[in-house]
Amino acid sequence: MEVIKITPHGYCYGVVTALGMVTQAIADENIPKPIYILGMVVHNAHLMKAFEARGVITVDGVGKTRLELLDEIDSGTVVFTAHGISPKVREKACEKGLTIIDASCKDVLKTHSIILDHIERGYDVVYMVRKDILKRKAV
């Protein structure tokens, strides 16, 4: 039998950037603590446990929107993951007086912008997502 070793591809640059932002926030004494991540920053139990050991709290829940999850955070800093968030979530975080770290991926934001532009121009937009990656309700 021939065994062929493959090299893992790793995380996309959006997730790598988000992870770096969380790591910097942990080290920055000027960032209000505790630090909450709104949803899973990455689906890797070892990495999430490492962040948890450094005081980071992940707020996540199947069947809950990010807007609903934000109800669980009353103080400190909230990190928006690379997946992006709705304007309503940002507004609510501001109203609550939370420090915000927006780690939204630039490609995700660009996609949102393109979709909104087409809606404003009168198009009907169909955005398709694989069923296996849908884990929560949209906001």
Q: What is the pLDDT of residues 11-32, one digit of tens each?
A: 788 888 999 999 999 999 999 9
Q: What is the mean pLDDT of residues 91-118?
A: 93
Q: How many CB atoms lie within 10 A of CB 91?
A: 11
Q: Supply the pTM of this predicted model.
A: 0.79
Q: Determine, yes or no, domain membership for 3.
A: no
CATH of the domain at 18: 3.40.50.11270
The count of domains in the chain is 1
Is 6 within the bounds of a domain? no
Tell me whether residue 7 is in a domain: no
Domain, as residue range, for 53 = 13-133
Residue 138 lies in a domain: no
Residues sharing a CB contact under 8 Å with residue 89, sequence separation 6 or more, in sequence order: 38, 66, 67, 70, 80, 139
